[in-house]
Amino acid sequence: MNFTKFHKGIWFYGPSGSGKTFANNFLKKKIKNLVIVDGDKVRKLISFDLGYNINDRKIQLKRILGISKLIIHSNKFPICSTVFMTKRILSACKKNKILILKIDRNLKKIKKTHKTYKEKKNVVGLDIEYEKFKTKTIFNDGKKNFLRKIKKILKWSKLKDF
C-alpha cells in the first residue's frame, strides 16, 4: 500500500444521520486495504459493556483509537466513524497521522425521521455537547454536493492508491 507520509487513516465524527456511513461506503470503493471501524459496530461487538453517557463515550473513543492503531500497524488504512469526539482523541489521532473530519448536517431535517433523535437521551447534538476545538468540517447539504466534498477527502488525505 503506497500512502504518503501525510495520513494513515481517516476518522469521521458527527451527529447520527449526518452521512458518515455514506462517506465510509464511498471511500471503501476507492481506497485499497481499507478497514472500516464503525462506532456502532464496535459498541455492539466490543463495547457492549458501555452506556451512552459522556464517560462511556470517552472510553469508546479510546477503544476505537486502539483498534485504529492495530490496523495501521498491520499496514491497512482505517476509516473510523463516531458521533462523539474529544480534544484528547483528536490530539492522539494527529500524532498517529489520522485525519479527523467532522460531518455536519441540518439537524432540524433529520430529527423528524431519525430514530436516534426520537429517544432524546444522551444524544450527541441534543443533550450532549461537543467539546470546542477546530477540525475540518464537511457540511452534508445533499447527495450530489456531499459526494463532491467526499471526493476532495482523497486529495486532502494525499492518498496515492485510490
Per-residue pLDDT of the chain (162 residues; tens, 9 = 90+): 334 457 899 999 998 888 899 999 988 888 888 999 999 999 999 999 998 888 999 999 999 999 999 999 999 999 999 989 999 999 999 999 999 999 987 766 655 555 555 555 555 555 666 777 788 888 888 777 888 888 877 666 555 443
Q: How many CA atoms lie within 13 A of 10 on its CB side?
A: 28
Q: Kindly list the domain boundaries of the chain, sorted by start residue.
A: 9-156
- The pLDDT value recorded for residue 104 is 85
In total, the chain counts a number of residues equal to 162
Domain boundaries 9-156, CATH class: alpha beta
Q: Cβ distance 90 to 133 under 8 Å?
A: yes
Q: What secondary structure does DSSP assign to 62-128, as a single string?
A: HHHHHHHHHHHHTT-EEEEEES---HHHHHHHHHTTEEEEEEE--HHHHHTT-HHHHH-SS-BTTTB
Q: Cβ distance 90 to 135 under 8 Å?
A: yes
3-state secondary structure of 30: coil
- The pLDDT value recorded for residue 59 is 97
